[in-house]
Amino acid sequence: MRGAAGPLRARTQALVALLLLALYAAFLTVGTHPAGTGILDELRNPVQAVNDQWLSPLGLRGLLSVIPTTALVLLGALAARPLATREPRQIWALLPVGVGLAALGVAWASLGGPPLSKTLWTPPYIFTCAGLGMLGLLICWLLADSGRVRGGAAVLAPLTIPGRNALVAYVLPILVKVWILQDWLVGWTGRAQPMGAALLTLAQRHLGPVGGGGPIQGPTCWRSGWGWRTLPGVA
């Protein structure tokens, strides 16, 4: 990643990413909003409060997500550095770093931190995505560029299609979400639900609160001590 004065040092990128995530985590944890402090669900959280009170009237709804997504971009740029060198020893460093970041994200959410949530771009979600993304890059390099797997480049060739058609790759998932996941009703959970809600319910039933999407998608939760608990009387 280059700035006006040249490329940022790797250490600077990492420190900026960590600082942004630390500040955002503090905002989510201690930020006060009408529902109270420490309550995080899709409709009641500090981000929603700031959006409703300040940003939406200005047409800037969602601006706060720039903070955690910038951190994700910086972590992604760090992952690209060893790939640019084409040095196998440096590229293999993505393995421990990727595993460490993914484990950090899951552990943070499991031990009382903000839940894994793409809706709020929580720091545990960012760390988990960054770690899994690094492992994915390592697998792609191993298959296509390392020379260790015969025909690996051909196997990954179909991935170049969405890579060369970024607009389609961006719009298609939105269309699938709106036209299929939110519109088609299924009875997989014993009652009629949109397909997306049914898949989420099944994931939470079989994979638990973290692996299945976290409490952010389920009952309203509040943070007490080191854990997340369901609010009494909230379905």
Q: Is the pLDDT of residue 228 over 50?
A: no
CA gap 60, 231 in Å, rounded: 31
DSSP 3-state assignment of 32? strand
Average pLDDT, the chain: 84
Backbone angles phi, psi at 64, to 5 degrees: -65, -25
Q: Is the pLDDT of residue 36 over 80?
A: no
Which one has a higher pLDDT value, 34 or 77? 77
191 neighbors 200 (Cβ within 8 angstroms): no
What are the tens digits of pLDDT across the range 53-106? 999 999 998 999 999 999 999 999 999 999 988 899 999 999 999 999 999 999
Mean predicted confidence (pLDDT) in 162-183: 89
134 neighbors 46 (Cβ within 8 angstroms): no
Q: Are strands 36-37 and 185-186 parallel, antiparallel or unpaired?
A: unpaired
Nearest residue to 115 (alpha-carbon basis) of 196, 200, 192, 227: 227
Q: Is the pLDDT of residue 208 over 50?
A: yes
Question: Per DSSP, what are the bridge partners of residue 223?
Answer: 228
Nearest residue to 134 (alpha-carbon basis) of 191, 190, 179, 77: 77
Q: Is the pLDDT of residue 218 over 60?
A: no
224 confidence band (pLDDT: 50, 70, 90):
very low
Q: Is the pLDDT of residue 223 over 70?
A: no
Q: Is the pLDDT of residue 4 over 70?
A: no
Residue 1 has a pLDDT of 54
Residue 71: CB atoms within 10 A of its CB come to 26
Amino acid at 190: G
Secondary-structure percent of the chain, ordered helix, strand, coil, rounded to 5: 65, 10, 30
Backbone angles phi, psi at 6, to 5 degrees: 115, -175
97 neighbors 76 (Cβ within 8 angstroms): no
Backbone angles phi, psi at 223, to 5 degrees: -95, 125
Residue 19 has a pLDDT of 97
DSSP 3-state assignment of 208? helix
Among positive and negative, which fits the CA dihedral 106, 111, 117, 120? Answer: negative
Q: Is the pLDDT of residue 227 over 70?
A: no
Q: Helices then strands (H, E): number in the chain?
A: 10, 8
Lowest mean pLDDT among 142-151, 181-190, 204-213: 204-213
